[in-house]
Amino acid sequence: MKRIGLQLYTLRHAFAVDPIGTLERIRQVGYDSIEVAAPPETDFAPLAARMREIGLESPSMHVGLAEMTAQPGSVLDAAKVLGCRFIVLPFVNPEGADWRAVVSELTAFARRARDAGDVRVAYHHHHFEFDRSRGFRPFDVLLGESDPALIHFELDVYWLKRGGEDPQAMIETLGARVKLLHLKDMAPDGKMADVGSGTLDFPALIAAGRSVGVEHFFVEHDAPPAPYWPSVETSLRYLRGLASA
């Protein structure tokens, strides 16, 4: 893999203490980009300036639906400052969620983002979108009732597996709607693991992503053990090893 990104949520504890230092170390470790996970009201200007200086891109950012709905202008301003080409909805509380309303609100924001410039919108899932307990799968609503020209997907290979799906098959099925891919591994006991240390077939998953036109690959670990950095270093080392194999 020539270019590999890191989801900043992985290092949220370090970032909260020292944002600039964390970004600098991410670049030093060898990552080419980050996916931003920070409140839209964050002062992104100094962060963006430092990232430009060290050659660290931020092509994507995670933003909640409430922020997209209540302050779309501020969200789009933040994306412009950071140079983001994607704004991703990272989470919807599944308790009593109205999934058709989610599609409607996300679509309204996606239209505004499209009209404001070259910014696209995507949905990032977890495992509960594949739960059938309400008589339907929320993911089918998100996929089937959204406009492919407006709503893309950021698939997460770990959460696909946890949801009972075949990650490679899902990537291939959604095809061009998959624009971003989260890389995290699954240990034999079902817990998250550093990329390359678990049970998922990353050469096949990455090849599938490339074949459908995935634009960005991001390493993520929701709960890496402190001090956090060994996890992101291990994952990158494995992925760089694939590239040289």
pLDDT in tens, 65-122: 999 999 999 999 999 999 999 999 999 999 999 999 999 999 999 999 999 988 999 9
50-59, 110-119, 149-158, 163-172: segment of lowest average pLDDT: 110-119
Sequence-distant (≥ 6) Cβ neighbours of residue 107 within 8 angstroms: 146, 147, 150, 151
Going along the chain from its start, the domains and CATH numbers come out as 5-244 (3.20.20.150)
Sign for the pseudo-dihedral over CA of 202, 205, 208, 213: negative
Q: Phi/psi zone of residue 239: left (φ > 0), alpha (ψ -120 to 50 degrees), beta? A: alpha
**pLDDT tens-digit map of 6-15:** 999 999 999 9
Mean pLDDT estimate for the chain: 96
Peptide bond into 46 cis (omega under 30): no
Pair of tokens at residue 13: 């504890």
**For the chain, counts of helices (H) and of strands (E):** 11, 10
